[in-house]
């Protein structure tokens, strides 16, 4: 449709050019944001006397009827329109006639698309925040259920020290709390309205930009019209936040995949969140966790794509920037899906508490505590480290754990050992005596803090 710029042109757009150039096929997602922005623009034009009150009212009711018809399915997007902005405008003119031709007064598609994307993304960030809240709620509930579920904690994926499952989950609570903060922070910088920047250098009409901003719940209007139409920082920040959320989901997914393996059997995924094999009848696969892990790559891709699109772009608007949409929509949809699916999966997972505890008792996870025992009896830590090292070697030879050695065997290596060693290195003691801030013994305080924060 050459309707938008017909005057200057003597030829129709080549079909291939139209298909290459159009964005309606994907920016139709912006219809609600676009109409909301246009209603505010028309309201301001009316208030400023740039259009008459009657024209303003007619435009607003026309726009509202378009919105209603899109939502009830009676108005379909016309593929002959280039983008969502021209679709809505053309439809408005069809509905209300000449008054509709005044809507675009003092506005360009450049500030319009910048506004639409901000409204859309702000809304998506709100949704992501509530999805994070649900996930965090499930995490904290599962923490409360598992303050006495003992398990090994790992470094280098080797058993290191014992902890409780609540402490383990708490590490992820911290990550997703940071994600939630990041989103709040992005919203602060995003929340300035670009509308009224015009094509790039403002306009001679007496627009009240701050009034439009206020109508649309922005803090105020942006401060430089060229930056307003070419800023995609908030979108890059959003994709960055998405990438980090996916990285966190992917790390936990990887852990659950390992814990769900036949060798570990720490967890059992609920049937509703697992899949089977078409050939191997015994299989129950953690596909959801694997897919979440897999989709992380595509969200990283979106971030890299937009960063690369924006690199080296001169001021102000360039058509390259239309490429921001598909990657942003895809990343936002992917993150929302992954957050919701992961929440469902984690809420229904079964923890095999006995297997986790048994695993913590093997692999000398209490070796540090055995060394600390000798330190408390007066031995310097470095010496204690060496004694326990020899002790572990002895246990490996005998294929037993430290607490399975008799007191005589222990004394043979070091006469500072007494009967109280067995209690000092029991799983429960090892975990619950770690009372430093943030340690597993102090998990109840952490849970209380999370409850308040969430």
For this structure, is 86 an active site residue?
Answer: no
110 binds ligand ARG per the rule CB under 6 A: yes
352 binds ligand ARG per the rule CB under 6 A: no
Least distance between ligand ARG and beta carbon 90 (Å): 15
d(CA 346, CA 94): 51
177's enclosing H/E stretch is: helix 165-190
d(CA 138, CA 146): 12
Q: With respect to ligand ARG, which residue has the nearer C-beta, 24 or 345?
A: 24
DSSP assignment of 353-411 equals HHHHHHHHHTTTTTHHHHHHHHHHTT--HHHHHHHHHHHHHHHHHHT--GGGS-HHHHH
d(CA 11, CA 9): 6
Q: Which residues, 6 or more positions from 51, have their beta carbon under 8 angstroms from its beta carbon?
A: 42, 45, 59, 99, 102, 105
d(CA 296, CA 289): 11
Least distance between ligand ARG and beta carbon 23 (Å): 4
Backbone angles phi, psi at 448, to 5 degrees: -60, -45
- Please choose, from the candidates 227, 249, 238, the residue with its C-alpha nearest in 3D space to the C-alpha of residue 327: 238
Q: With respect to ligand ARG, which residue has the nearer C-beta, 48 or 322?
A: 322
322 binds ligand ARG per the rule CB under 6 A: yes
Question: Looking at 107-115, 137-145, 210-218, 402-410, which segment touches ligand ARG (CB under 6 A)?
Answer: 107-115
DSSP assignment of 244-260 equals HHHHHHHHHHHHHHHHT
23 binds ligand ARG per the rule CB under 6 A: yes
Least distance between ligand ARG and beta carbon 82 (Å): 7
Q: Which of 41, 45, 60, 83: binder of ligand ARG (CB under 6 A)? A: 83
Q: What is the CA radius of gyration of the chain?
A: 31
Q: Which of 317, 346, 373, 417: binder of ligand ARG (CB under 6 A)? A: 317
For this structure, is 277 an active site residue?
Answer: yes
Active-site residue (options: 156, 167, 225, 248): 156
Q: With respect to ligand ARG, which residue has the nearer C-beta, 118 or 248?
A: 118
Q: Which of 66, 115, 239, 321: binder of ligand ARG (CB under 6 A)? A: 321
- Please choose, from the candidates 196, 155, 97, the residue with its C-alpha nearest in 3D space to the C-alpha of residue 368: 155
Count CA atoms closer than 13 A to 297's CA, side-chain side.
4
Q: With respect to ligand ARG, which residue has the nearer C-beta, 109 or 248?
A: 109
Q: With respect to ligand ARG, which residue has the nearer C-beta, 224 or 322?
A: 322
109 binds ligand ARG per the rule CB under 6 A: yes
39 binds ligand ARG per the rule CB under 6 A: no
User: Binding-site residue total for ligand ARG (CB under 6 A)?
Assistant: 11
113 binds ligand ARG per the rule CB under 6 A: yes
Active-site residue (options: 277, 359, 401, 446): 277
Cβ distance 59 to 91 under 8 Å?
no
**Which residue's CB atom is positioned nearest to ligand ARG?**
322
Residues annotated as catalytic (active site), given as ranges? 156, 277
Which residues sit at the interface with ligand ARG, rule CB under 6 A? 23, 27, 83, 109-110, 113, 317, 319, 321-322, 325
């Amino acid at each position: 449709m050459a309707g938008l710029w017909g005057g200057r042109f003597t030829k129709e757009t080549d079909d291939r050019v139209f298909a290459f150039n159009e964005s309606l096929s994907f920016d139709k997602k912006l219809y609600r944001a676009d109409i909301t922005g246009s209603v505010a623009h028309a309201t301001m034009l009316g208030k400023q006397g740039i259009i008459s009150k009657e024209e303003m009212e007619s435009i607003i009711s026309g726009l509202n009827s378009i919105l209603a018809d899109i939502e009830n399915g009676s108005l379909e997007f016309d593929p002959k329109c280039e983008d969502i902005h021209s679709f809505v405008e053309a439809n408005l003119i069809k509905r209300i006639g000449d008054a509709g031709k005044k809507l675009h007064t003092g506005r360009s598609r450049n500030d319009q698309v910048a506004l639409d994307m901000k409204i859309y993304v702000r809304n998506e960030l709100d949704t992501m925040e509530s999805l994070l809240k649900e996930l965090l709620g499930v995490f904290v509930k599962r923490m409360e259920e598992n303050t006495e579920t003992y398990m090994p904690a790992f470094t280098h994926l080797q058993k290191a020290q014992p902890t409780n499952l609540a402490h383990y989950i708490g590490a992820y609570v911290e990550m997703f709390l940071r994600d939630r903060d990041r989103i709040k922070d992005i919203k602060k910088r995003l929340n300035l309205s670009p509308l009224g920047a015009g094509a790039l250098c403002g306009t001679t009409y007496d627009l009240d930009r701050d009034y439009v901003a206020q109508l649309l719940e922005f803090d105020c209007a942006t401060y430089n019209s060229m930056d307003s139409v070419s800023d995609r920082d908030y979108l890059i920040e959003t994709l960055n936040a998405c990438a980090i959320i996916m990285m966190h989901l992917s790390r936990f997914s990887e852990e659950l995949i390992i814990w769900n393996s036949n060798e570990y059997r720490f967890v059992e995924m609920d049937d509703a969140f697992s899949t089977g094999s078409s050939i191997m009848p015994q299989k129950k696969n953690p596909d959801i966790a694997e897919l979440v892990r897999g989709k992380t790559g595509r969200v990283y891709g979106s971030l890299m794509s937009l960063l690369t699109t924006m690199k080296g772009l001169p001021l102000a608007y360039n058509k390259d920037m239309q490429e921001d949409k598909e990657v942003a929509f895809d990343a936002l949809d992917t993150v929302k899906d992954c957050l919701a699916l992961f929440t469902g999966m984690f809420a229904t997972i079964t923890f095999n508490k006995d297997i986790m505890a048994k695993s913590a008792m093997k692999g000398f996870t209490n070796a540090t505590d055995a060394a600390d025992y000798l330190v408390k009896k007066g031995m310097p830590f470095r010496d204690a480290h060496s004694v326990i090292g020899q002790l572990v070697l002895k246990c490996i030879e005998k294929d037993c754990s430290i607490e399975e050695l008799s007191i005589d065997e222990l004394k043979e290596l070091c006469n500072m050992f007494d009967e109280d060693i067995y209690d000092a290195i029991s799983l429960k003691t090892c975990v619950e005596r770690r009372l430093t801030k943030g340690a597993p013994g102090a998990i109840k305080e952490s849970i209380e803090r999370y409850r308040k924060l969430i």
